[in-house]
Amino acid sequence: MKLTATIITILAALAFVGTAIASMPGNTSEFEGGPMGKVVFSGQIHADAGLSCGDCHTGIFQMKREVKITMADHNSGNLCFSCHQEGGKAFASNDCARCHQK
Protein backbone atom coordinates (compact mmCIF):
# COMPACT_ATOMS: atom_id res chain seq x y z
CA MET A 1 0.00 0.00 0.00
CA LYS A 2 2.80 2.44 0.93
CA LEU A 3 4.70 1.51 -2.25
CA THR A 4 1.61 2.22 -4.36
CA ALA A 5 1.17 5.62 -2.74
CA THR A 6 4.84 6.42 -3.37
CA ILE A 7 4.59 5.43 -7.03
CA ILE A 8 1.43 7.51 -7.51
CA THR A 9 3.12 10.51 -5.87
CA ILE A 10 6.16 10.20 -8.13
CA LEU A 11 4.03 9.85 -11.26
CA ALA A 12 1.95 12.87 -10.28
CA ALA A 13 5.11 14.91 -9.67
CA LEU A 14 6.48 13.89 -13.05
CA ALA A 15 3.28 14.98 -14.74
CA PHE A 16 3.60 18.47 -13.30
CA VAL A 17 7.30 19.21 -13.01
CA GLY A 18 8.94 17.25 -15.82
CA THR A 19 12.72 17.15 -15.58
CA ALA A 20 12.83 19.07 -12.30
CA ILE A 21 12.31 15.72 -10.56
CA ALA A 22 15.96 14.88 -11.37
CA SER A 23 17.29 17.09 -8.57
CA MET A 24 15.09 15.96 -5.74
CA PRO A 25 16.79 14.82 -2.53
CA GLY A 26 18.92 11.77 -3.28
CA ASN A 27 19.52 12.81 -6.89
CA THR A 28 21.95 15.05 -8.70
CA SER A 29 21.77 16.99 -11.94
CA GLU A 30 24.73 17.83 -14.12
CA PHE A 31 25.00 20.98 -16.20
CA GLU A 32 27.62 21.92 -18.76
CA GLY A 33 30.05 24.30 -17.14
CA GLY A 34 32.18 25.42 -20.07
CA PRO A 35 35.95 25.52 -19.59
CA MET A 36 35.58 25.37 -15.79
CA GLY A 37 34.00 21.90 -15.99
CA LYS A 38 30.48 20.63 -15.40
CA VAL A 39 28.40 21.83 -12.47
CA VAL A 40 26.87 19.13 -10.32
CA PHE A 41 23.75 20.12 -8.36
CA SER A 42 22.83 17.88 -5.43
CA GLY A 43 19.23 17.95 -4.30
CA GLN A 44 20.29 16.06 -1.16
CA ILE A 45 22.86 18.64 -0.05
CA HIS A 46 20.27 21.38 -0.39
CA ALA A 47 17.62 19.32 1.45
CA ASP A 48 20.10 18.56 4.24
CA ALA A 49 20.58 22.33 4.58
CA GLY A 50 16.85 22.61 5.31
CA LEU A 51 15.71 23.77 1.87
CA SER A 52 12.75 22.51 -0.11
CA CYS A 53 12.30 22.70 -3.87
CA GLY A 54 9.89 25.61 -3.44
CA ASP A 55 12.59 27.74 -1.83
CA CYS A 56 14.19 28.25 -5.26
CA HIS A 57 11.49 27.17 -7.70
CA THR A 58 9.74 29.21 -9.12
CA GLY A 59 11.05 32.43 -7.61
CA ILE A 60 14.75 32.12 -8.47
CA PHE A 61 14.52 29.34 -11.09
CA GLN A 62 11.68 28.31 -13.35
CA MET A 63 10.61 24.66 -13.22
CA LYS A 64 12.92 23.50 -15.98
CA ARG A 65 16.30 21.89 -16.07
CA GLU A 66 17.67 23.80 -19.05
CA VAL A 67 19.03 26.99 -17.57
CA LYS A 68 21.99 28.97 -18.88
CA ILE A 69 24.04 30.46 -16.07
CA THR A 70 26.70 32.95 -17.05
CA MET A 71 29.51 34.86 -15.37
CA ALA A 72 27.25 37.90 -15.63
CA ASP A 73 24.74 36.07 -13.37
CA HIS A 74 27.58 35.19 -11.03
CA ASN A 75 28.80 38.76 -10.84
CA SER A 76 25.33 40.29 -10.40
CA GLY A 77 24.04 37.86 -7.76
CA ASN A 78 21.38 36.17 -9.90
CA LEU A 79 20.24 32.52 -9.96
CA CYS A 80 22.53 30.29 -7.80
CA PHE A 81 24.30 33.39 -6.64
CA SER A 82 21.16 34.70 -4.97
CA CYS A 83 22.28 32.57 -2.00
CA HIS A 84 25.85 31.64 -2.94
CA GLN A 85 27.58 34.99 -2.48
CA GLU A 86 29.68 36.62 0.19
CA GLY A 87 27.36 37.34 3.09
CA GLY A 88 24.55 35.24 1.55
CA LYS A 89 22.63 32.31 3.01
CA ALA A 90 25.13 29.75 1.69
CA PHE A 91 28.84 29.44 1.07
CA ALA A 92 30.25 32.09 -1.23
CA SER A 93 30.90 30.98 -4.79
CA ASN A 94 34.51 32.14 -4.86
CA ASP A 95 35.81 28.54 -4.74
CA CYS A 96 35.09 27.48 -8.35
CA ALA A 97 35.97 23.81 -7.74
CA ARG A 98 33.24 23.52 -5.11
CA CYS A 99 30.62 23.47 -7.89
CA HIS A 100 32.60 22.97 -11.10
CA GLN A 101 34.06 19.49 -11.65
CA LYS A 102 36.49 18.62 -14.42
What is the per-residue pLDDT for 19? 33
Residue 85, pLDDT > 50, answer yes
pLDDT, one tens digit per residue, over 11-42 is: 444 333 333 334 677 788 888 888 889 988 88
| Measured CA angle at 23 (ends 18, 29), to 5 deg | 100
Indicate left, alpha or beta for 23 from its phi (over 0: left) and psi (-120 to 50: alpha). alpha
What is the per-residue pLDDT for 33? 80
pLDDT, one tens digit per residue, over 46-78 is: 899 998 888 888 788 876 666 778 888 888 888
CATH code, 82: 3.90.10.10
**φ, ψ for residue 68, nearest 5 deg:** -100, 115
74's enclosing H/E stretch is helix 71-76
Domain that holds residue 94: 2-101
Q: What is the domain count for the chain?
A: 1
